[in-house]
Structure formats: C-alpha cells, structure tokens
Amino acid sequence: MKTFFIVLGASIAFFLTVAMFGLTDWDRPPLAVQQSGFRGTAMAQIHTRAGAAETKAANLAPAPADPAEPGEELAGTTYENVQVLKNVSVNEFNRLMASMTEWVSPEQGCTYCHNTENMADDSLYQKKVARRMLQMTQALNTDWKDSHTGGAGVTCYTCHRGQPVPSNVWFTDPGPNRPGGFIARNNGQNLAAPSVGLASLPYDTLTEYLADKTIDNNAIRVNATTALPTTKGKPIQDAEKTYALMIHMSEGLGVNCTFCHNTRAISDWSQSTPQRVTAWHGIRMVRDINGNYLEPLLSTFPKNRLGVLGDVPKVNCTTCHNGVSKPLNGAHVIEAYPELARATDTVAANPATPMPTAPAVPPETAPAPQ
Ligand code: HEC
Ligand code: HEC
Ligand code: HEC
Ligand code: HEC
C-alpha cells in the first residue's frame, strides 16, 4: 500500500511539473534584453523575441500622403467656414482632409464629418469634435514638444489608428452597485479593473490622477523623504493609488518599473532614467488633453458617446503608446504634416480656445544612464 502511494504521489508531482511548463506565463527563450538604466542595477527590459516582433508589427505608422503642390491661396480666404486651418494653403488643406479621412474614418469617408451638400456646414458633431482635435494635435506638437512628444510628434493616427473612436479610451468607473448603510467602504479595491492591470488596486485612480487638472503637483509622491516621520504623512491608500497609476503606465508602455526607476530608490530622481522625466511631463500632458480638450466637448458629444456617469471619453498613456515606449515605434510622423505642428488660426483667434498652461519642470532632472 505504501509503495502505491509513493508511486501515485510521484506521478502526480511529475505531471504537475510537466503541466507547469505548459502554462502561458513562461517567457520562453529566445529573449530580447535591453538595458534601460545604469550598469549593474538590473535595470533591463526583457521581452520574448516573438512578443517584441508582435508589438512592433501592431504599431506601424502609415505612409504619409504625397506632398501637396505649392500654392499661394489660403484655405481661410478660399473656403467659407475654416476656423483653425486658416493660414494653410488650399492644396495642403485638401491633402490634410484626405489624410484625416484615412486616419479617422477610412470606411465612412468625408461624410463622417461633412454634410456633402455643403462642406462649410457644421451640423455634424463629428466635424465640431474634429476641429477641436486639430487644435489639440497642434498643442501636442508645440506646447508639449520639448517635454514629451519630441521630433516624433503626434498625428490623428497616433490615437485613432483608422477608427473614429480610438481603441483605448476610458470613462470614470462608477464601481459596482453596492448598498450603502453599514457596509464598509472598500476604497475601490478588490475588483479586477483593466485600467490597473487587473490588480486589486483602486480601480478609479485614473480619474483622479489623469483627468483632474487642478490636482496638487505632488499628489502622486508617497515616499517619505526623511528617515523618521516629521509630519502625519500620507495614508496607505495614497500609496495604493500611486501603485495603480504606475501599473497603468507600465502596461501602456509595455515596460517594467525599471524602465524609469532604480528600484532601490524609487523616488530618487538622480537614480532614475531620463524617461522618468518624460513620463512626469506625460502625466501633465494627459491631464491637459482630458481637461482642456475633451471635457469642454461634453455638450458636443451625443449621449451614446458618454460614459455611464455622463462623462466624456478620455485619453490615457495607452491611447498613444499602445504597448510600446515610443508610439508607432518612434516614427517621426509629424515631419510630413507641418501644419499640425504650428498654430494655423492666426487670421482671427478662436475665442473658445483656452491656452494650456506650461508645465512646471520637476524639481530634479535625471542624468543619462551610463
Ligand atoms: C474627421 C473629420 C473630417 C473628415 C473625415 C473630413 N473633414 Fe473636411 N473638414 C473637417 C473640419 C474640422 C473642417 C473645418 C476646419 C477648420 O475649421 O479649420 C473641414 C473643412 C473642410 C472644407 C472647407 C469647407 C468650407 O467651405 O468651410 C472642405 C472643402 C473639406 N473639409 C473637404 C473635405 C473632404 C473632400 C474630405 C474627404 C476627403 C473631408 N473634408 C473629410 C473635418 C473633416
Ligand atoms: C491624443 C489622442 C487623440 C488625437 C491625437 C486625436 N484624437 Fe480624435 N479623439 C480622441 C478621443 C479620446 C476621442 C473620443 C472618442 C469618442 O468619440 O468616443 C476622439 C474623437 C474624435 C472624433 C469623434 C468620433 C466619434 O464618432 O465620436 C473625431 C471626428 C476625431 N476625434 C477626429 C480627430 C482628428 C481629425 C484628429 C487629428 C487632427 C484627432 N481626432 C486626433 C483622441 C484623439
Ligand atoms: C514610464 C516611467 C515609469 C514607470 C514605468 C514606472 N514609474 Fe513610478 N513614477 C514615475 C514618475 C514620473 C513618478 C513621479 C510622478 C509625479 O511626481 O507626478 C513616479 C512615482 C512613483 C512612486 C512615488 C515616488 C515618490 O516620490 O513618492 C512610486 C512608489 C513608484 N513610482 C513606483 C513604481 C512602480 C512600483 C512601478 C512598476 C509597477 C513604476 N513606478 C513604474 C515614472 C514611472
Ligand atoms: C498624445 C500621445 C501620447 C500620450 C497620451 C502619451 N505619450 Fe508618451 N510619448 C509620446 C510621443 C510622441 C513620444 C516620443 C517618442 C519618440 O521620441 O519617438 C513619447 C515618449 C514617451 C516616453 C519616452 C520613451 C523613450 O523610449 O524615450 C515616455 C517614458 C513616455 N512617453 C511616457 C508616457 C506616459 C507615462 C504617458 C501617460 C501618463 C504618456 N507617455 C502618454 C506620445 C504620447
């Protein structure tokens, strides 16, 4: 009998071991390892080669349209109702309309935004939203160029990828319908929300950290800066929210924490990578997009585009990054569309445009890894 149980136990152990290798979470070789920080600090990004090739293939930039013929005529004087692209030449303007159609509504065509009986008509909400999107894209490529979007820049395709509604938009999460009374509040936890990588972390962190433009600049910082507490400090719930945001950022960029942090001193900027500084500005940039461009469109969007709480669709890191640290694999998409990289409404400014405020520079900037 004893031998029987030994043999049975051994075979179960054997089969469990074999089954374990078949599970999905193994990174099978060959692996692609990329150093992302200081030598000897284990700051590296590890992907399988197959996985890296797959994310690369999912983030290809489309070829730009052929350059427009030069021309003197301006869209603002030729057409009836051009408010943003006023000082763009007519040829350049038409080339951009064709590209916008390819980027945003390739299946629907010009009619997605236009009443084709009268192109100047603004009756479709899509056209009004698109006009604001033009201003937003220009701001992303000017106000946020030095601190985030760089030479690569952003076009409509960076977010839209050939669809009217980008795949990665989010809404404020109302949470489960829970009865009130004496039931303890769960601080938004223990619910598998995709926005925080299905972790048991506060599921509605993004509303606070990526949509509230009035938030305190140091809200995300939770590490103590002195060995012993000097003030009451922050509650543990704030650390959970910070962690939830960090999980979102890591997932959105397809990287781990060491892409930005040296994990022995998470908060220390001098030991962090330069990418952390870019990310710091990215957080402020996303607040600018959501707070100054999308939220004011609340009354323009039809009801079926709004979230369950009646809020506008919003942008997060994944909307542009889609699992890679450089959107569209770092392609310099803006070079072929200079009209999206400058202000083009100088003939008469649109009074409805609040200027985004310039971001404050983080207190310490990081040195380059060596
Ligand atoms: C994603 C939305 C969108 C699509 C698709 C689109 N347009 Fe436009 N179009 C606009 C916006 C927004 C304006 C106004 C721009 C401004 O105010 O600066 C405009 C303005 C125009 C105007 C100027 C009309 C006037 O007299 O004021 C013309 C002409 C035009 N578009 C042609 C086209 C053509 C042709 C297509 C298809 C190849 C097209 N558009 C596709 C959004 C779009
Ligand atoms: C930073 C990301 C981002 C960029 C860049 C961007 N958009 Fe959008 N766009 C969004 C989001 C988010 C929405 C809201 C989605 C929805 O309508 O449900 C949206 C909505 C729209 C809509 C309304 C679609 C609908 O059916 O509700 C149009 C039209 C549009 N964008 C056009 C453009 C054009 C044209 C450009 C480039 C000039 C552009 N967008 C650039 C993020 C972006
Ligand atoms: C893309 C860059 C990036 C990645 C990846 C990233 N972080 Fe961060 N992290 C930041 C930035 C930027 C801040 C500062 C935010 C601010 O001050 O507004 C920060 C702040 C923090 C803080 C608060 C530090 C303090 O001063 O109190 C903690 C803790 C933290 N991150 C942990 C993590 C963990 C854990 C991961 C992996 C799950 C991670 N981070 C991944 C960029 C990143
Ligand atoms: C509007 C689109 C957009 C959004 C939204 C966005 N980014 Fe970026 N990000 C870019 C572009 C464009 C670059 C420049 C890439 C390049 O240089 O090729 C970039 C670069 C970066 C880099 C530097 C990558 C490297 O390898 O050097 C980091 C880190 C980063 N973003 C973090 C974030 C984080 C974190 C968020 C969300 C809080 C975010 N981004 C949201 C467009 C965006």
Q: Is the dihedral of CA 176, 178, 180, 183 positive or negative?
A: negative
Question: If you measure from the C-alpha of residue 131 to the centroid of ligand 1, how many angstroms do you get, rounded to a whole number?
Answer: 9
Please tell me the residue having the least CA distance from ligand 2 atom 41: 156
- What is the topology classification, in CATH, of domain 31-340? Photosynthetic Reaction Center, subunit C; domain 2 (1.10.468)
In whole angstroms, give the CA distance from residue 364 to residue 288.
Answer: 22
Measured in degrees and rounded to the nearest 5, phi and psi for residue 150 equal 55, -155
Question: If you measure from the C-alpha of residue 196 to the centroid of ligand 3, how many angstroms do you get, rounded to a whole number?
Answer: 14
Q: Where are the domains of the chain?
A: 31-340
Indicate if ligand 1 lies below 6 Å from the C-beta of 119: yes
Residues 354, 139: contact at Cβ < 8 Å? no
- Which ligand 3 atom is nearest residue 284's CA? 18
Which ligand minimizes its atom distance to the CA of 156? 2
Question: If you measure from the C-alpha of residue 139 to the centroid of ligand 2, how many angstroms do you get, rounded to a whole number?
Answer: 14
In whole angstroms, give the CA distance from residue 38 to residue 261.
Answer: 10
pLDDT tens-digit profile, the chain (370 residues): 789 999 999 999 999 888 877 766 666 778 888 888 778 888 989 888 888 999 999 999 999 999 999 988 999 999 999 999 999 999 999 999 999 999 999 999 999 999 999 999 999 999 999 999 999 999 999 999 999 999 999 999 999 999 999 999 999 988 776 666 666 666 667 777 777 778 778 888 899 999 998 999 999 999 887 888 887 778 888 999 999 999 999 999 999 999 999 999 999 999 999 999 999 999 999 999 999 999 999 999 999 999 999 999 999 999 999 999 999 999 999 999 999 999 998 754 334 444 444 444 454 444 444 3
In whole angstroms, give the CA distance from residue 220 to residue 239.
Answer: 8
- Which ligand 3 atom is nearest residue 259's CA? 5
